Structure 1
Amino acid sequence: MVLLSSWLWALSCASYAFGKATLGERDFTPLSADDLEVLSEMPDPSRHLDSTNPVSHLTKILIPRAPGTNNNTFVRNYIVQTLSDLGWTIELDTFNASTPVGTRPFTNVIATKDPDAPRRLVVAAHFDSKFFSTYPENQFLGATDSAAPCALMLDLAQSLDPLLTARDALVASDALPPTADLDAAETTLQLIFFDGEEAFHDWTDADSIYGARHLAAYWESQPLAPHMLSKRRFMRPGASTTPLALIEHLVLLDLLGAPHPQIRSYFPDTAWLFDSLIAAEDALLSAGIIGGENGEGQASGLGRESFFQPRRAGERALGYMGDDHVPFLQRGVSVLHVIAEPFPRVWHTLGDDASALHLPTLRRWNLIMRVFLVQYLGLHPEDAKNARRDEPETEMEMVGFADVDELVGRADSDLVL
């Protein structure tokens, strides 16, 4: 990603071609203290974000993984296997693209809980790491950028899957309670892991966000399956009928995991979602799950400090982040960009390794996102008590690490990809 100094605000306002198809702003049902406690324990929110845990998601992802390398393939396969084990539908968007260092293969991973749902909340991050041609720079890990967000997404899928399954069973049996939000109930969770976010040389429109540009253009060109067009959402004149129209909001995570992040709201139409993240953090603070001895503990260094910069009346974002959301924004998708700005001090340096991450901060991010997604999707934490499961440890062979050793001291032109 890159922070650009100029921004035509009208671009974001003018591009929402099918905004009326989305649900728009609505009130979330507050969660009880018991609900919050359940979410904080289903399972331990730190477990898969701990770089010292040899079987954590973070440990599996935190290797050099530039596009077109064996390590990139290993990480992609790990993501696919983890979500396939949950029974989610996996799509691979594979293509070749010209880059400043030659033609490279890329593969985006799209995982959907219910592919027949007419509405989707998308949570996304990029799983590639930045390309460097020489040693030691080619050992760049990208812990905040974006190994930690990817690990967080996998944990969210595993934690919330039983709740999504329970809700979908009620929908299928027409057993939703009378007070249920029907629109939320027909919204599924979709995760996108973009490949090729990083520029190979300098960030330009042509040398950046390869995966996001390809997927957005592809979805724009594809018609929805006929059975999807029978959903009530599309029974209105002028409704868009491409996969992009299924997306309620795209929540893009980037540069997360370092302590004391500062997160801002960038787009007017998702300001209410930004406020919902703040409300989730406030609820967790009030319940003592974060910010105190019963939560992160005084040694965490976090205290009650918020991750978010509150919005002010009439305030408009003056900066513009070039990131994976841009091709979707340009095609009318509503975006919530969750990115630390200022960027972490280790950005694009070898210092963006495990030492740049702060486990209490990652734990808090996990809890905030659990609460936010449960409220957005109309889930019930008590369902976790009836479907509690600790997923088995994934003991995938770390074949990628053998390839890391082969990279040492070699220029990229010498690599066999």
Structure 2
Amino acid sequence: MPSARSFSRHPLPSYFLLLLPLLYSLCLADHLPRTFHTLSDTHLKQITQLSPPQWTSVTSGHLEHLLIPRPSGSENNTLVQQYISSAFSSLGWHEDQTPFTDDTPIGPIKFNNLIYTFDPLAPRKLVLAAHFDSKYFPTYPENQFVGATDSAAPCAFLLDLAEALTPLLKERQRRVTSGQALLLDGLDEEEEAETTLQIIFFDGEEAVKDWTDTDSIYGARHLAETWETTFLPPSHPLSKRRYSPTPTILNTIDVLILLDLLGDSNPRIHSYYRDTDWLFTQMSDVDKRLRQEGLIDVEKGEEGWFVDFKMRKGMIGDDHAPFLERGVSILHVISNPFPKVWHNLADDASALSLPAMRRWNRILRVFTAEYLSLIPTTNTPSQRNDHGPYSRSADELVRYSSI
């Protein structure tokens, strides 16, 4: 679970500070804020009613398989990996795994990140992530810690999101591939489909002993380091747009949205980074619209979860840190202050709020659909017919399968 301390940076020489505005603008050249295609009230309701339906209890659905002690390297951790893998396999998503062994204060431990991409050939990705491991405790009864908010519930939200939006993603992919991409109200589905959805489940977020730079976020550090040195092939669209430096997998990420410590009542969500304040505002706006339309249950006294980013808090150490340090845009969706049950046995099913979990499911569905410009209908009359269908070869799939 994340550290409450703020990360510090090495001081930069004064001449370098003068170059920061230029460097920042160059880094953002391929990461300018997107135009959100706000769903109509009808489509908003349709998105919230997609399968799977609302949970009937805090232990129903995916949480039944996630609410077990699952520290990294344990048998239960492997069982959770297998469950997540089977869920995405049934949806037809592309899977990448990153098994590796790292030294820890109690000796070598095996870790494995799970990465799922709807369209591995797409040049850009919206990435949502959470960690699936639970904190290690050496003795009973603490070793029965299940980490419901930390982070079983966020993982369940991501599984729900993939299930709900996969039919829409597949239908759009069918239209684009068949040359029938929609053109409607400034929305060009062929262009929008260049950004796909990727979901990452990090292993080893928790410190094995005490949170330090080396005893924490094992999986995230490994993945960020790997992707930083995995260069895109010359045929990749981003390679064609850039001459130097050669882009890496990290350059394909529009933004990484990290979920943590969610699922209990009345979380307080802050914006930590100026370059994603606009995304924070969009997510807050989705929550507001859902409440106005009566599409979510609001518990007494917690109408607004999202805090005005003018009251910005300091950075919280978490899985996003190694990506942030490498220039990836980050939206950190974490309850701050932390839930009262943080890192104790009370962080079990009883810590979860059914209305809050349903609310998060619907916020994430609508937010992601609007970011990706997914429309929950195929009955729009205006379609693209000015070009023939295109297809992606098996050879292309092999070349891009790890991107």
Q: Helix, strand or coil for the counterpart of 1:85?
A: helix
Deviations 1:388-407 (A, max 9, x none): xxxxxxxxxxxxxxxxxxxx
Q: Helix, strand or coil for the counterpart of 1:163?
A: helix
CA distance in 2, matches of 1:10, 1:18: 21
What pairs up with 1:41-56 in 2 under 5 angstroms? 41-47=49-55, 50-53=57-60, 56=61
CA distance in 2, matches of 1:341, 1:19: 29
Deviations 1:166-210 (A, max 9, x none): 112222233223332454321000000000000011100000000
| Residues 341 and 232 of structure 1, relative CA distance in 2, 3 Å threshold | closer
What's the CA shift for 1:267? 0.3
Q: Helix, strand or coil for the counterpart of 1:105?
A: strand
CA distance in 2, matches of 1:380, 1:115: 21
Q: Helix, strand or coil for the counterpart of 1:107?
A: strand
Corresponding residue pairs, total: 368
| Residues 45 and 324 of structure 1, relative CA distance in 2, 3 Å threshold | farther
Deviations 1:102-149 (A, max 9, x none): 000000000000000000000000000000000000000000000000
What pairs up with 1:28-39 in 2 under 5 angstroms? 28-39=36-47
Give the counterpart letter for 1:122 in structure 2: V
CA distance in 2, matches of 1:193, 1:213: 13
Tell me the residue number matched to 1:305: 303
* TM-score (normalised: structure 2): 0.86
Give the counterpart letter for 1:334 in structure 2: S
| Residues 128 and 286 of structure 1, relative CA distance in 2, 3 Å threshold | same
Aligned counterpart in structure 2 of residue 180 of structure 1, from 170, 176, 187: 187
Tell me the residue number matched to 1:2: 3
Aligned counterpart in structure 2 of residue 262 of structure 1, from 265, 268, 273: 268
| Residues 186 and 153 of structure 1, relative CA distance in 2, 3 Å threshold | same
Aligned counterpart in structure 1 of residue 370 of structure 2, from 375, 379, 398: 375
CA distance in 1, matches of 2:218, 2:258: 16
What pairs up with 1:99-114 in 2 under 5 angstroms? 99-114=104-119
What pairs up with 1:157-168 in 2 under 5 angstroms? 157-168=162-173
Tell me the residue number matched to 1:414: none
* TM-score (normalised: structure 1): 0.83
| Residues 30 and 104 of structure 1, relative CA distance in 2, 3 Å threshold | same
What's the CA shift for 1:21? 4.5
What pairs up with 1:232-247 in 2 under 5 angstroms? 234-238=240-244, 240-247=246-253
| Residues 26 and 201 of structure 1, relative CA distance in 2, 3 Å threshold | same
Q: Helix, strand or coil for the counterpart of 1:331?
A: coil
Tell me the residue number matched to 2:320: 325
CA distance in 1, matches of 2:65, 2:29: 39
Tell me the residue number matched to 1:196: 204
Uncovered stretches (5+) of structure 1, i.e. residues with no partner: 291-295, 386-417
- Is contact 1:45–1:366 with CA below 8 Å preserved after alignment? no
Q: CA RMSD in A?
A: 2.3
What's the CA shift for 1:286? 1.8
Aligned counterpart in structure 1 of residue 80 of structure 2, from 65, 75, 85: 75
CA distance in 1, matches of 2:241, 2:7: 40
Tell me the residue number matched to 1:131: 136
Q: Which stretch shows the higher mean deviation, 81-90 or 37-46?
A: 37-46
| Residues 21 and 172 of structure 1, relative CA distance in 2, 3 Å threshold | farther
What's the CA shift for 1:50? 3.4
- Is contact 1:120–1:188 with CA below 8 Å preserved after alignment? yes
Say if 2:103 is the partner of 1:98.
Answer: yes
Tell me the residue number matched to 1:271: 277
| Residues 318 and 288 of structure 1, relative CA distance in 2, 3 Å threshold | closer
Tell me the residue number matched to 1:215: 223
